[in-house]
Structure 1
Amino acid sequence: MNYYALLDEIKQYVTNFFHTHPNDKIIYHNQVHTENVVNAAIEIANHYRLNDQDYFIVVTAAWFHDIGYYTDPARHEEKGAEEVSLFLNRKGVDEKVIQTIANCIRATRMPQNPETMLEKIVADADLYHLGTSKFSEFNKELRKEFIALHNIDLSKEEWRNKTIRLLETHQYHTDYCRLLLSDTKARNLEKIKAKVAGKNPEVKNAKPVIPPVTAVQQPAAKPKVKPLLPELVDEEKLKRKNRPDRGIETMFRITSANHQRLSDMADSKAHIMISVNSIIISILLSVLLKNLEQFPQYTLPALTLLTISLVTIVFAILATRPNIPRGTFTQTDINEKKVNLLFFGNFFRMSMEDYTSGMLQMMEDRDFLYRSLIKDVYSQGVVLGSKYQRLRISYNVFMYGLIISVIAFSIAAIVTT
């Protein structure tokens, strides 16, 4: 089954559903929220490199998880599971896959208690916003929707207390979201607690107001003035402080995983070319070439097809053939930050002590570490580019060569008759 084509149909179906079922009361659980959850599910799924079927399950569940709000808000998870089952049954999807998607949707019910990895991904995608900078904006929309749907005049104070309880009891279920979002979620919680306590975190560092000295007061000693924001003096330090380290690390992790996935796809395509053309060469050598004395008119077409298959295999092998560097580095390479210790080809001939020493030096140097990550991603991209270029040549030779061979065999047959 072509899951990716079916995902396009699902996207179109759910989008049309939102357009044809307008509801002014549903301010938060609408198309925008659904698309945000889908994007979060795709991000998490790509990190864990799910296979095509699991990827389809997660993304489909994300599209349908809140569609039930438009028919029965109190049982929207169950309604979403029923809706996706009806849609996928019409498309001939396997019943086991449909049931897994329905379970993923049910796993978003609060309080969340997902069991499988796929359920955990969908559950975390649904509450992904708790650990983002847009949490406050989404939380306001959610309060407005709650008031509209339940006809309850819920004060801001009551809503903040409910939100605090949610943030304190909620935990992300995947390692990816725990590492990426937990810190920001904790900061969001502290901001709400500060508001409840009547504090304003934005004026936390405000300059204190010193009351004027009156005539009856004794002269006070002049206080030592310290800069309120020393980071402003050092712009470079402030820039480092504001750099989103966790986001940078996540970017490197996702990019590397995507490159690896593309590399696996290229290897798989090359394997197909090698297998198919090996069969063609075997048939040509065992059957056709032995009978060329009886059918000399097929000599040229047969040799053409044999050459094409051979060239195709050569380029497919070149696309997958590993290129191993010398496997050593020097202390000078470490000091000048030239070597990438994250690639095995640069250290596999070195001793454990030398490699450990180099890694420790790299981990203590922020600039060296990020340069190594950049080199690693760049090297993967260069290898991928070379691999796909050779693979493209292999496919082009096979495609056009096969056409030429078929034409040649047809002409030979026509001439014979």
Structure 2
Amino acid sequence: MNYRILLEQVQNHVEQLFKTPDASNLLYHNLTHTQKVVEATTQIANHYALNDHDFFIVITAAWFHDIGYLHTTAGHEEIGADEAAALLTRLDVSDSIIEKIKHCILATKLPQHPTNLLEEIICDADLFHFGTDDFTENNKRMRKEARLLYHKDFTKEEWRNKTIELLKAHNYFTEYCRNRLNAKKLENMERLLNQQYKTAMKNNDEEQAKPDITGISENNKSKNEKRPDRGIETMFRVASSNHQKLSDMADNKSHILITVNSIIISVVVSLLLRKLDENNHLTIPAILLLLVSLATIVLSILATRPNISNGTFTQQELNNKTTNLLFFGNFFKMSLDSYKEGMLQMMGDRDFLYGSLIKDIYAQGVVLGRKYKLLRAAYNIFMFGLIVSVVAFIIAATIDS
């Protein structure tokens, strides 16, 4: 099935429908709005890396979700779902796909109740503008359209109150939209609340003048409070940078020990061991010095020797959020597509993302602890061993003389 060609046919069909005279009263629920919902759907779908099958479902639903407004306002979702089914049947699209598209369209009916990711995507895309700078202009168009469709002149205050209640009750379903849009959405609502407050003060209505945001969805508030901020990002960045610097310092110290002791071993082997026949009294100090240098080198190498994981992760680990995709050892054997899908899933889930950062910093700390423990042991062996070796040389030379 060529989904690209099918989407082109769907787009052409919907665009032609919106060119009919019935669309003249649609100042908001028109082709422009539909195109913006398609753009938002595409953006969210790309974030979640949907496959071609699911991408076709949500984009088709986006094109048809408001087509019912050409006939009526009440039950327009059902009409849109039926029109989508009629076209797709003519295009020989399977019944299973058609049913999923219909469910996505019906899920946009207020109050929204999506049951899966595809339905969540189309629901969030439909009200994407709640969390954008276009909200105020779109809200004005909706009011003008409502006047024409319902033949009722809503005052500014009436419409503002209805909009505030709608924003309070609404919440985005996808993690992507919550993180991206909630802050601006609350900003838009606060602007309306301030306008409501000013109007109430003019009318000397003290009760109405109290801005009330208690009705805001707790889900919205909590998600907004959890939004990443500069302090958290700075904390992770500084911690990771400090760990990297400490790791580099440990590696440099290890390299110094390896270099110094390699020179000592070379000198002892090349010069001293050849003359042990003539200087038997230096045998024990020489062997002691070689053992000290060898032990120091071994510990220094162990401190810098990397540990490699199996290089793969499973879908179950992704779903359980137990893998750390920020560490190369967990993915270097995976394909690019699998890793990309996993990263997109992680970036769309705040808890998964920050959990991975925490695991990454913790893992760096564990590695640093092991490095510095081995490095300290290497320095202790080198320091005390060198002292003992020198004393041994002095004693041997004294006894011989």
CA distance in 2 between partners of 1:333 and 1:35 (Å): 52
Unaligned runs of 5+ in 2: 201-227, 230-242, 250-323, 332-359, 369-401
CA distance in 1 between partners of 2:170 and 2:179 (Å): 15
- Deviation of 1:24 (Å): 2.5
- Deviation of 1:343 (Å): 5.6
- Deviation of 1:4 (Å): 1.4
Residue 88 (structure 1) aligns with? 88
The structure-2 alpha-carbon separation of the partners of 1:333 and 1:128, relative to structure 1 and needing over 3 Å to count, comes to farther
- Deviation of 1:23 (Å): 2.9
Unaligned runs of 5+ in 1: 201-244, 247-327, 335-340, 360-417
Residues 65-214 of structure 1: matches in 2 within 5 Å?
65-198=65-198
- Deviation of 1:3 (Å): 0.8
The structure-2 alpha-carbon separation of the partners of 1:329 and 1:187, relative to structure 1 and needing over 3 Å to count, comes to closer
The structure-2 alpha-carbon separation of the partners of 1:66 and 1:353, relative to structure 1 and needing over 3 Å to count, comes to closer
CA distance in 1 between partners of 2:86 and 2:363 (Å): 61
- Deviation of 1:345 (Å): 4.4
* Contact in 2 for aligned 1:329/1:346 (Cα 8 Å): no
Residue 364 (structure 2) aligns with? 355
State the identity %: 45
- Deviation of 1:356 (Å): 4.0
Q: Which has the greater radius of gyration?
A: 2
* Contact in 1 for aligned 2:160/2:196 (Cα 8 Å): yes
Residues 231-270 of structure 1: matches in 2 within 5 Å?
none
CA distance in 2 between partners of 1:48 and 1:21 (Å): 38
* Contact in 2 for aligned 1:37/1:128 (Cα 8 Å): yes
Amino acid at match of 2:48: Y
Amino acid at match of 2:196: V
- Deviation of 1:342 (Å): 8.0
* Contact in 2 for aligned 1:131/1:188 (Cα 8 Å): yes
CA distance in 2 between partners of 1:162 and 1:66 (Å): 21
The structure-2 alpha-carbon separation of the partners of 1:155 and 1:352, relative to structure 1 and needing over 3 Å to count, comes to closer
Amino acid at match of 2:13: Y
1:120-148 CA deviation, whole Å, 9 max, x = no partner?
A: 11111000000111100100000000111
* Contact in 2 for aligned 1:21/1:70 (Cα 8 Å): no
- Deviation of 1:22 (Å): 4.7
CA distance in 2 between partners of 1:347 and 1:61 (Å): 37
- Deviation of 1:75 (Å): 1.5
CA distance in 2 between partners of 1:354 and 1:23 (Å): 59
The structure-2 alpha-carbon separation of the partners of 1:22 and 1:352, relative to structure 1 and needing over 3 Å to count, comes to closer
CA distance in 1 between partners of 2:79 and 2:120 (Å): 20
* Contact in 1 for aligned 2:147/2:153 (Cα 8 Å): yes
1:26-55 CA deviation, whole Å, 9 max, x = no partner?
A: 100000100000011111111111111111
Give yes or no for the alignment of 1:10 onto 2:10: yes
CA distance in 2 between partners of 1:346 and 1:116 (Å): 33
Secondary structure, aligned partner of 2:198: coil
The structure-2 alpha-carbon separation of the partners of 1:161 and 1:56, relative to structure 1 and needing over 3 Å to count, comes to same
CA distance in 2 between partners of 1:119 and 1:179 (Å): 18
Residues 379-394 of structure 1: matches in 2 within 5 Å?
none
Residue 307 (structure 2) aligns with? none
CA distance in 1 between partners of 2:188 and 2:91 (Å): 42
CA distance in 2 between partners of 1:342 and 1:96 (Å): 35
Aligned-residue CA RMSD (Å): 3.2
The count of residues paired between Structure 1 and Structure 2 equals: 229
TM-score under structure 2 length normalisation: 0.52
The structure-2 alpha-carbon separation of the partners of 1:78 and 1:332, relative to structure 1 and needing over 3 Å to count, comes to same
CA distance in 2 between partners of 1:78 and 1:170 (Å): 21
The structure-2 alpha-carbon separation of the partners of 1:344 and 1:137, relative to structure 1 and needing over 3 Å to count, comes to same
* Contact in 2 for aligned 1:329/1:347 (Cα 8 Å): no
CA distance in 1 between partners of 2:37 and 2:134 (Å): 14
Residue 220 (structure 1) aligns with? none
CA distance in 2 between partners of 1:358 and 1:42 (Å): 42
CA distance in 2 between partners of 1:353 and 1:164 (Å): 44
* Contact in 1 for aligned 2:22/2:71 (Cα 8 Å): no
Residue 36 (structure 1) aligns with? 36
1:77-106 CA deviation, whole Å, 9 max, x = no partner?
A: 011001000000001111011011001000
Residue 278 (structure 2) aligns with? none
Amino acid at match of 2:364: Y
CA distance in 1 between partners of 2:154 and 2:366 (Å): 60
The structure-2 alpha-carbon separation of the partners of 1:344 and 1:93, relative to structure 1 and needing over 3 Å to count, comes to same
* Contact in 1 for aligned 2:23/2:30 (Cα 8 Å): no
* Contact in 2 for aligned 1:347/1:355 (Cα 8 Å): no
